[in-house]
Structure 1
Amino acid sequence: MAATGASNVLIPSVDLLAYVIFLVLAIGLLSLLVSRRFNVSYVPLFILLGIFVGPVLGILNRTLAHELFSYIRVFGLVMILFTEGHTLSWKMLKKNSGTILTLDTIGLLLTALIIAFVFSRVFGVPFIVGFLFGSIVAATDPATLIPLFRQYRVREDIETIIVTESIFNDPLGIVLTSVAIALLTPEASSARFLESLAHYVGLYPAALLFFAYQMGVSVLIGVSLGVIGYHLLKHAEIEGFPEVVIFSLTLAFGGFLLGELAQASGYLVATLTGIVLGNHKVFFRDEPEVVRRVMRAIEREVHFNESLATMATIFIFTLLGASLDPELITSHLAPGVAVALALIFLARPLAALPILRWHSIREYLFISLEGPRGVVPAALASLPLTLGLTYGNGQLAQWGEVILSTTIITVLVTVIIETLWVPLLRERLIEASSIEKELRRSRKKRKGAR
């Protein structure tokens, strides 16, 4: 017999996985029904109900939930990103490339530096420790944003900017974290590749080279797989329901594995493969009959994969909530919430200021106020503590506990706040901005007619 967490709930080990699946799916169904009834985001409901069945009631063991989360986050993110890649418009990506590039470079670095300063002041630690925290929480979360914007139907160009930013900033957030680790614990295995590069060119140039390598190799593998996938769909005539779904899953996870083996970003590879397939009419000029046949196959796999991505979202955030340690959160609750609020209302808005040259003040505000943190920060949160314990660095272990608890608090606060206010912000900022643009166009037309 195996306990699931509460002393009065015992489940045979052979049925344990079925028990967890049932519990998580029941939470997912309840959350979706509540979301539809009251028109609120379902992502924070997954987390809150996960906390309720995990740390509060104990009917789902926190250790088991954490172990399952470490696996499901990989599967779930690949599915979410690969599926979303199909829906990203190449036209919109090109049109908003300046905004996306700015947010993923200057914006991300400024966010990490500003929140590093706040963290070091709030907790009284050296700035480099704050920079480690800032690097961990710098990346926004596509797993939260994609289902959120699908639920509320945000204007396509704004959705493309925020979602694409969140997809592309994960690798840079990981690189920034590696730089901070290399500065604090150069002997760490995760910093060895950077250290070997830094031996020849210095740490910061090495970080730039590492990032360039990750992006370049990810783009090469992702685009290549997209092209190969298209030609297989075209020539092998893979279009029936079972085979096209299996084909797409093989492509998505094969791309992820290739990216990780090449020390690039497997998640970015999966996304780019999806973008090439989803925009095949733009990239491949084939006969109308071929285009229609390939489109039918892609529509079948996207329809199935969207359901799979929704299931993955349920499991990711429910298990994340169920795996949380209440003591870890309460130990630094007040300062942790203060840091999270500073990230929402200070660091990201300041870091996003450069995009004002392309966007109205209302669009800028919406973009800067929609940057929830999620799966990647949650996965990196325990790294400083682990390194401190592994290398016998008592000071890093102590700082690591603070970073771990504050990161989890930041994820919870940003996800809850920045998902619940989407309908209000969309109405007050995006829809109002669209009306303003229409009025300006009308005035120009009237002036031209005169």
Structure 2
Amino acid sequence: MFLQSFGNDGIIFLAALLLLSGIIAAKFSSRLGLPSLVLFIAVGMIIGSDGLGIIYFDDVEMAQLIGILALIIILFEGGLQTKWSTVRSVAFSSISLATLGVLATAMLTGVSVYFVLDVSWLEAFLFGAIVGSTDAAAVFATLKERNIKAKMGATLEAESGTNDPMAIFLTLMFIELITNESTSFWLMIPSFFWQMGIGLALGLVFGKLGSLAINRINLESGGLYPVLAIAFALITYSTASVIDSSGFLAVYVAALVIGNSELTYRYSIFQFNEGIAWTAQIMMFIILGLLSFPEQVFHPSNIFAGLAISFVLIFIARPIAVFISTVWLNYKFRERLFLSWAGLRGAVPIVLATFPIVAGINGADEFFNIIFFVVLTSALVQGSTISYVAEKLGLMGPKKDTPHHSIELVSIAKANADMVQFQTNRDNAIVGYKLHEIDFPQKASIAAIVRGDDLVTPYGDTEIKAGDFLYILVSKREHADLMKLLNQKISGPQKSKRKTKK
């Protein structure tokens, strides 16, 4: 009604209103103890046809396209922010959870769906496949500001970034088995290995190409480098999808490669992608909220079915899947319990729930409504208690210290130098020493030191302290020497000297 009255102006105003609503929801989500995705979805429901009636939206294919585009951006931003040194230590466990874990969750949930809903076994397992994977958007957003131990956070983020191929493969496989009786299950298995293997390979290739392009192409404006990075994310996904491999896996791997490379305008790229990922997340969940009809989602029969399936998914299927996937890995019992509880569902199951509708499967609308309810239940129950559960299990890490400042004066593309940001910790060998006592490379200069909220002007007698953010202008040729110096760990004699100085 609103759009019909105001036309294009109304659409522009409404888009601004939705973004503002999402930003306000994100601001208050932590204070309310709720994941931001719940509030974004609520905004969509409120302004939808069953709410205030401002927008009537039921275009499933459009919602699917918006969801896929948003997930590409969110996965890319998550991969950029992930340190390879952290992921490497949990790579095997994450892959196990992303494959065997998703399969076990889907099958166990499917059994409960068969008994709760009046459906066939194939339809029940289709439902299980749709809700079988954790969601990158939900996990990244929920863990971003929470002080979960690095090992747990890395495991969950890597799992959510790599488990979509398994969920998508299972979903498409069961849709094909339902709609085409001549399809053979065994003939579809090689397709999974193709999707995973080629998706991984393309991610590595495009990640390397993206890093080289960003560093070597001399663009007229520094603001174009973040756009170039996003372009590579979209090209990576589309190329992988065209040859029937996993576009989501390719995007995440490419982002890992790019994010762990030395980049021109590194901080501009990171900040731009963080902003656009928030925008994508807000719009995606609001659109998914619009696509739902609360009167149908919260119908008594759907609530009963949704609660029953959510109970099995949260308290039975996910824990069993986690323990099976990590039985031979080095995880303590309490760590497995936390991984079981932190298996958040979000946008991916809702987007996948549109696939059966597009395929014309009978009862797909009911599936969508119940899956939507299951996602809300997971977000509300698990998402709002992650910090509490982590604290009770003794898995809270140190407070995250994210810099809200950056200095980027010159670029590799414009000059043969770059501005390096480095945060010290108590294990760094340079901590406790004055600047004139440190043997910096000849063409390296300390531009600034940020200590807490204070800017410290660097002089020869300025002492480096743990937690300082150092901003160092360095020649490209001496960049490796500088990083070697900065990353050097404290040795035994240095420990004694540091204690003596104190």
TM-score by length of 2: 0.73
2:103 to 109, 126, 151: 109
Confirm or deny that 1:323 pairs with 2:291.
yes
CA contact (8 A) 1:66 1:319 kept: no
1:346 to 316, 328, 332: 316
The whole-number CA distance in structure 1 between the counterparts of 2:280 and 2:141 is 11
Q: Which residue of 1 aligns with 2:206?
A: 225
Partner of 2:163: 169
State the Cα deviation string for residues 356-396 of structure 1 (Å, max 9, x = none): 54211221111111122222221221433443x4xxxxxx5
1:144-182 CA-partner distances (Å, limit 9, x unpaired)? 111111122422221221111112111111111222123
Partner of 2:353: 381
> What are the within-5 Å matches in structure 2 for residues 356-435 of structure 1?
356=327, 357-387=329-359, 389=360, 397-398=362-363, 400-431=364-395
Conserved 8 A contact 2:226-2:268: yes
Report how far residue 351 of structure 1 moved: 0.9
By how many angstroms is 1:85 displaced?
A: 0.8
* Structure 1: runs of 5+ lacking an equivalent: 281-290, 390-395, 435-450
Code of the residue aligned with 1:312 in structure 2: it is: A
1:441 aligned residue: none
Cα deviations across residues 324-351 of structure 1 (Å, max 9, x unaligned)? 1124311422112211121111110111
Aligned 1:1-400 pairs, distance under 5 A: 3-4=1-2, 11-63=5-57, 69-186=63-180, 195=183, 198=184, 203-204=185-186, 206-237=187-218, 240-280=221-261, 291=262, 294=263, 296-329=264-297, 330=299, 331-354=301-324, 355-356=326-327, 357-387=329-359, 389=360, 397-398=362-363, 400=364
Distance 2:169 2:318 in 1: 19
**Could you say what secondary structure the match of 1:241 adopts?**
coil
Larger Rg: 2
Please say which of residues 29-38 and 218-227 is displaced more in the overlay. Answer: 29-38
**Structure 1's 78 and 153: CA in aligned 2 closer, same or farther, altered over 3 A?**
farther
Gapped regions of structure 2 (runs ≥ 5)? 399-502
Is contact 2:95-2:162 (8 Å) kept? no
CA shift at 1:35, angstroms? 2.3
Q: Which amino acid aligns with 1:340?
A: S
User: Do the aligned residues in 2 keep the contact of 1:340 with 1:414 (CA within 8 Å)?
Assistant: yes
- 2:394 and 2:287 map into 1 onto residues whose CA distance is 33
CA contact (8 A) 1:86 1:277 kept: yes
Does the CA-based 8 Å contact 2:91-2:158 persist in structure 1?
Answer: no
**2:31 and 2:305 mapped to 1: Cα distance?**
35
Deviation at 1:433, TM superposition (A): 9.1
RMSD: 2.4
Stretch deviating more after TM superposition (312-321 or 46-55) = 46-55
Identical aligned pairs, as a percentage? 26
**TM-score w.r.t. length of structure 1:** 0.81
Alpha carbons of 1:20 and 1:95: their partners in 2 closer, same or farther (altered >3 Å)?
same
**Contact 1:104-1:165 within 8 A present in 2 as well:** yes
Shift of the 67–117 alpha-carbon distance from structure 1 to 2, 3 Å rule, reads closer
Residue 112 of structure 1 and its aligned partner are, at CA, apart by 0.8
Residue type of the alignment partner of 2:380: I
Residue 26 of structure 1 and its aligned partner are, at CA, apart by 2.4
Measure how far apart 1:37 and its partner are: 3.8
C-alpha displacement of 1:10:
5.0
| Number of the residue aligned with 1:446 | none
Question: Is the 1:277–1:298 contact (alpha carbons within 8 Å) kept by the matching residues of 2?
Answer: no
Q: Is the 8 A contact 2:214 2:228 kept in 1?
A: no
Give the partner amino acid of 2:347.
V
